A and B are shown apart, each in its own frame.
Chain A
Amino acid sequence: MSEKTLQVETRTLSVALIGNPNTGKSTLFNGLTGGRARTGNFPGVTVEKKIGSFQHAGQTVQVIDLPGTYSLSPRSADELVSVDVLLGRQPGLNRPDAIVCIVDASNLERNLYLFSQLRDLGLPVLLVLNMQDAAKRNGIQIDLPSLQSRLGVEAVSAIAHQQQGLNEVRDAILRVASSQATPPTRLLPEAFYTEADSLGNWLKEQGASDVPQFLRERLLLDVHGAAEHESSLNLPGNISDYLTQARQRLAESGCRIPVIETKVRYNWIRRQLDGAVQRTTSDHVVTLSDRIDRILTHKVYGVLFFIALMFVIFQTIFTWAGPLMELVEVGQGYVSDLASSLIPPGTFRSLVVDGLIAGVGSVVIFLPQIMLLFLYIAIMEDCGYMARAAFLMDKLMTKVGLSGKSFLPMMSSFACAIPGVMATRTIENRRDRMVTMLVAPLMSCSARLPVYVLMVGAFVPTVSWLGGALSLQGLVLFLMYSLGTLVAIPVAWLLKKTFFKGETPPFVMELPEYKWPSLWIVLDRVKDRSKAFLVEAGTLIFCVTILIWAAGYFPGDHTEQHRLEAQMEQLDEQIIPAEEKLAELEEAGETTGEQASLAAQLEVWQAQREEMDEQANLLSGQLIQESFLGRAGKGIEPFVKPLGWDWRIGIGAIASFPAREVIIATMGTIFSLGGDVDEESPGLISTLQSATWPDGAPLFTLPVALSVMVFFALCAQCGATLMVIRRESNSWRWPIFTFVYMTVLAYIGALLVYQIGTAILG
């Protein structure tokens, strides 16, 4: 007895959770495991791997969350992953002890299609009937005991989003995981199984690896299926010919592939449900959900609602995130000051303040936008509107070669490409998802705005028409915003014709019933996405920031700079108390000699301080020039000259590759030297306006300003976006591709604008 208990306790059970999309699978996963999960990607594919676990009745159970799917007929490497996991063929994962199949109780018929396929895998299957509340609302009554005996598996009901029935599910998992495998249904004609056996014999003769029964059946059933091309199966070269002939033989005996599979399975499902499930309402009744749809997908009201909603989302991501981002900056400033007061000036302080703290800040700064966007996405997904948005926008997006589901990721990229790229997860089709991901960074994000504002304000003449309603500056700003979108259209079209060639993916999309979003699910998803960004993309962004700090810091000799910094701080320690003392004296109305001498002393100190400041600026400018970054800037001057740029703009552009918003700060540092600074107008705008080439000609003309803006509009100057693309595509290939194509486009665009602009304006 005690020995047996020990045995049970030491063995970890493992189950795989699978179900149709929109069944509440993720909610059940989080409910069972408490939301703690290890996430990552399955090797070589874009499918997310999510593994959690729970303790129940002294037993540890590992839960593998498989992607939502309508069927188990793999047509791509991505889809084959689930089959591999269930067959125990996925490297690094033991075969699960049982399958937990979650179905939408209000839509049993279609949901059981996947279940009927799962039964053929030779594992025990547990059926979880979720969303019992929705089923009741729709007048669907399920006789659970009768359904269990007809389907031949254990079934439990749950309402995952209200955390109801979770313990019953845990109990049932323990029971089912240690029970016998659910017997296969063998629904297809006997001729099919005979053919599957002879396929097995033939494969053995040909020296292929041992192909499991389930995959042999899939090989026969899936015309152009993924199993046929799976290298790990070591299939003989003439497998396609063999399968075509086998399907031909089957068709002659009346077993037509692929029609036969769906037909026999759906017929079987209907037979099992007949009598076990009662509908009190007729199938033809117009539901509340249909009535809502008449408005929300209406030609006029539906479109107006959609535009208004997108406007609100865009506006709030743009404006509400602003104060939160400022808060992050203030926090970063506070921590930097604290670190500076603790560490003496030197390389270590620079590393901590300009490298580490700035690195963390550059990751955290994106969180407000990511959280806001995913809050909206989670609400729209959970209430069912997301599918309608895709439904509304599909026709428009297909003209560009994308699908309706690409609209939201593209639009949110106008605020920031990082949440935009992450939002492409809602696109099931891999090709559509990849193309959307690769053109999303072309949308003019909010970090480009400061560059536009600076350049437009400084170099575009203030001309206006129609009584001020239309200004040239506003027009240029609008054109800069539209540029990325206009370029994205041919780029998407080209990508679809080259790397992501293939037939147009089907837009066979379920429109789930409308329901109130659950706060718990929504917050959970926001937390999930934020964590994924911080942990995975964040680490890489952090490393890149440190690297760029090093490139701008080394190999210059910073001793003089550090000496100066220390002197300045010492002086500040004298100036600040003196200022306070003086204010005190003045307040008391004492105009004694003490006050006068203190004021005179202070003036001397302040003059010294200002001189040091200027010296420090000059020095940091020189050091940047001598750094690896500065050398690179000078090195590329011949390349950027055709764009109308000098080496200083070149350094600015290079330093902005990790994050384009640093251009303003970098320009400030670089232009503070070389005698270009006009002392009477220390602002950056006037500094830039008075900057000249060595021969005295003005550096920034309108064509140069336009060329800088076009470059910033099109270039991939955002390390964070590239890292997120790497994470989402699970490969280094696509971020590198994005970087290269955008940089090339930016260069050509800037070149054209400058050359044509100079030709016209002289």
Chain B
Amino acid sequence: MVERMTLADLNQVGQRASIVEVAGDDAVAVRLMEMGLTDGEEVTVIGFAPLGDPIEYSIRGYRLSLRKTEASRVSVTLLSN
């Protein structure tokens, strides 16, 4: 069985993952989807802020910053490098 993983679990620069889904139908979830985090999309970790939060990602060719609480709303599967 594959363990359920979220974007917030990625802890290394350069890690890549494929989005499974964004949970919920509230403003945060919709905003994440509108920014292009839809199922099947690939995300790469670019860097972490000094206190480990927020996190910079690369998605659809641009750079996006998310807080850990928001990143944990996005379930993903890890892609091998």
A residues neighboring B (CB under 8 Å) = 70-71, 73, 75, 106-107, 109-110, 113, 222-224, 257-259, 261-263, 266, 279, 283-284, 289-290, 293-294, 297-299, 302-303, 387, 391-392, 394-396, 398, 404, 503-504, 506-513
Q: 9 pairs across A/B with beta carbons < 8 Å?
A: A110-B62, A258-B33, A259-B21, A283-B58, A392-B50, A394-B67, A395-B52, A508-B65, A509-B54
B10-39 to A contact mask, C-beta < 8 Å, 1/0: 000000100001100111111111111011
Asked if A71 and B34 sit within 8 Å, CB to CB, the answer is yes
Would B62 and A503 count as touching, CB distance under 8 A? no
Contact yes or no, B60 A294, CB < 8 A:
no
A510 touches B31 (CB 8 A): no
Whether B64 pairs with A509 at a CB distance below 8 angstroms is yes
CB distance from A720 to the nearest CB of B (A): 35
Q: Is the CB of B51 within 8 A of A395?
A: yes
Which 4 residue pairs are nearest across A and B when measured between Cβ atoms?
A262-B33, A511-B63, A395-B51, A71-B34
Task: Contacts A395-B49, A507-B66, A510-B64 given; indicate if A297 touches B26 (C-beta within 8 A).
Answer: no
Smallest CB–CB gap between B81 and chain A, Å? Answer: 9
> Known contacts being A109-B61, A297-B49, is A506 close to B27, with CB within 8 Å?
yes
> Once the chains bind, are A506 and B31 in contact (CB under 8 Å)?
yes
- Kindly report which residue of chain B lies nearest to residue A222, judged by CB atoms: B30
Partner of A507, one of B50, B52, B67: B67
| Most A CB within 10 A of own CB, among B31, B51, B54 | B54
A29 to B38, CA, bound (A): 32
Query: Within the assembled complex, what's the spacing in Å between the Cα atoms of A345 and B22?
Result: 75
CB neighbours of B38 from chain A (8 A): 259, 262-263, 266
Count A-B contacts at CB 8 Å: 129
Cβ–Cβ contact B65 & A224, under 8 A: no
Name B's A-contacting residues (CB within 8 A). Answer: 16, 21-22, 25-36, 38-39, 42, 44, 46-54, 56, 58, 60-67, 69-70
CA distance A81 to B70 in the complex (A): 27
The answer to whether B56 touches A297, judged by C-beta atoms less than 8 angstroms apart, is yes
Tell me the bound Cα distance from A258 to B61 in angstroms: 24
Check A258 against B29 for contact (C-beta < 8 Å).
yes
Closest Cβ of chain A: how far from B50's Cβ, in Å? Answer: 5
Determine the residue in chain B with the shortest Cβ distance to A390: B65
Bound form: Cα–Cα A191–B72 in Å: 32
Closest to B67 in A: A507
| Cα(A293)–Cα(B47), bound, Å | 8
The answer to whether residues A259 and B49 also contact, given A394-B67, A506-B27, A506-B70 and a CB cut-off of 8 A, is no
Smallest CB gap from B25: residue in A: A223
Q: Which of A224, A398, A507 contacts B27 (CB 8 A)?
A: A224
The residue on B at minimum CB distance from A247 is B25
Query: What's the minimum C-beta distance from B48 to chain A, rounded to whole angstroms?
Result: 8
Q: Write out the residue numbers on chain B whose beta carbons fall within 8 Å of the beta carbon of A299.
A: 50
Q: Chain A's nearest CB lies how many Å from the CB of B19?
A: 11
Known contacts A224-B26, A506-B28, A394 near B53 by CB under 8 Å = yes
**Inter-chain contacts of B58 with A (CB < 8 A):** 283
Q: Which residues of B contact A512 (CB under 8 A)?
A: 63
Separation in Å of the B28 CB from the closest CB of chain A?
Answer: 4
Specify which chain B residues have a CB less than 8 angstroms from the CB of A73 in the assembled complex.
Answer: 30, 34
In the assembled complex, the CB of A262 is this many whole angstroms from the nearest CB of chain B, namely 4
Q: Are B34's CB and A70's CB within 8 A?
A: yes
Among candidates B53, B60, B66, residue contacting A395 with C-beta atoms closer than 8 Å: B53
**6 further A-B pairs in the complex, CB-CB below 8 A; given A510-B65, A511-B56, A511-B64:** A113-B34, A284-B16, A284-B44, A299-B50, A303-B50, A395-B49
Residues of B within 8 A of A107 (CB): 60-62
| CB-defined contacts of A302 to chain B, threshold 8 Å | 50
Within the complex, the shortest CB–CB distance from A103 to chain B, in Å, comes to 12
Q: When the two chains form the complex, which single residue of A262, A294, A394, A396 contacts B47, counting CB atoms closer than 8 Å?
A: A294
Residue on A nearest B55 in the bound complex, by CB = A391
Q: Contact between B49 and A394 (Cβ–Cβ < 8 Å)?
A: yes
Label chain B's interface by main secondary structure: mixed
Question: Using Cβ atoms and an 8 Å threshold, which residues of chain B touch A290?
Answer: 46-47, 63
Q: Which residues of B contact A283 (CB under 8 A)?
A: 42, 58, 61
CA distance A748 to B65 in the complex (A): 42
A279 CB contacts on chain B under 8 angstroms: 61
Minimum CB–CB distance for B2 against chain A, Å: 21
Complex CA gap A513/B42 in Å reads 20
Across the two chains, which residue of chain B brings its CB closest to A266? B38
A262, A298, A398 — which one has the most chain B CB atoms within 10 A of its CB?
A262
* Bound-state Cα–Cα, A70 to B27, Å: 13
Query: Smallest CB-CB separation from A138: which chain B residue?
Result: B61
CB-CB < 8 A to A391: which residues of B? Answer: 49, 54, 56, 65
Max count, chain A CB within 10 A of own CB: residue among B44, B62, B66: B62
**What's the Cα separation between A394 and B54 when bound, in Å?**
7
For residue B74, give the distance in angstroms from its CB to the closest CB of chain A: 11
The residues of A that contact B25 with a CB separation of less than 8 Å are 223, 257-258
* Closest-CB distance, B77 to chain A (whole angstroms): 18
Min CB–CB distance A92 → chain B (angstroms): 29
Chain A residues whose C-beta falls within 8 Å of the C-beta of B27 in the assembled complex: 75, 224, 503, 506
Chain A residues within 8 Å of B56, by CB? 293, 297, 391, 511
Q: Which residues of B contact A398 (CB under 8 A)?
A: 67
Instruction: Verify B32–A508 contact, CB threshold 8 A.
Output: yes
Residues on A with beta carbons closer than 8 Å to the beta carbon of B42: 283
Write the nearest CB–CB distance from B52 to chain A, whole angstroms.
8
Q: Is the CB of A109 within 8 A of B60?
A: yes
Q: Which residue of A lies closest to B35 (CB)?
A: A508
In the complex the two chains form, what is the Cα distance from A508 to B27 in whole Å?
A: 11
Judge whether A503 and B65 touch: CB under 8 Å. no
Q: Which residues of the other chain, B, contact A294 by a CB distance below 8 angstroms? A: 47
Q: Which residues of B contact A259 (CB under 8 A)?
A: 21-22, 33, 38
Contact of A506 among B32, B44, B51 (CB under 8 A): B32
| Residue of B whose beta carbon sits closest to that of A113 | B34
A513, B46: Cα distance in complex, Å: 13
A106 to B61, CA, bound (A): 9
**Residues of A contacting B67 with CB < 8 Å?**
394, 398, 506-507
The CA-CA distance from A387 to B60 in the complex, in Å, is 19
CA distance A279 to B63 in the complex (A): 17
A261 to B34, CA, bound (A): 9
- How close is A336's CB to chain B, nearest CB, in angstroms? 52
**Chain B contacts for A71, CB-based, 8 A:** 34
Which residues of chain A have C-beta atoms less than 8 A from B22's C-beta? 259
Q: B30 CB to closest chain A CB, in angstroms? A: 5
Q: Could you tell me the distance in whole angstroms from the C-beta of B67 to the nearest C-beta in chain A?
A: 5
- List the B side residues contacting A303 at CB < 8 Å: 50
Across-interface contacts of B50 in A (CB, < 8 A): 297-299, 302-303, 392, 395
Note all chain A residues with C-beta closer than 8 A to B65: 387, 391, 507-511
Give the distance in Å from the alpha carbon of A279 to the alpha carbon of B61 in the complex. Answer: 10
Closest residue of chain B to A69, judged by CB? B34
Question: Nearest chain B CB to A387's CB is how many angstroms away?
Answer: 7
Nearest-CB distance from A32 to chain B (Å)? 26
| A148 and B75 alpha carbons, distance in the complex (Å) | 36
CA distance A224 to B70 in the complex (A): 19
Asked whether A396 and B44 contact (CB < 8 A) given A391-B56, A506-B31, A507-B67, the answer is no
- List the B side residues contacting A258 at CB < 8 Å: 25, 29-30, 33
Chain B nearest CB: distance from A535 CB in Å?
Answer: 35
- Min Cβ gap B26→A in Å is 7
Cβ-defined contact, B29 with A507, below 8 A: no
**Contacting pair A503 B54 (CB below 8 A):** no
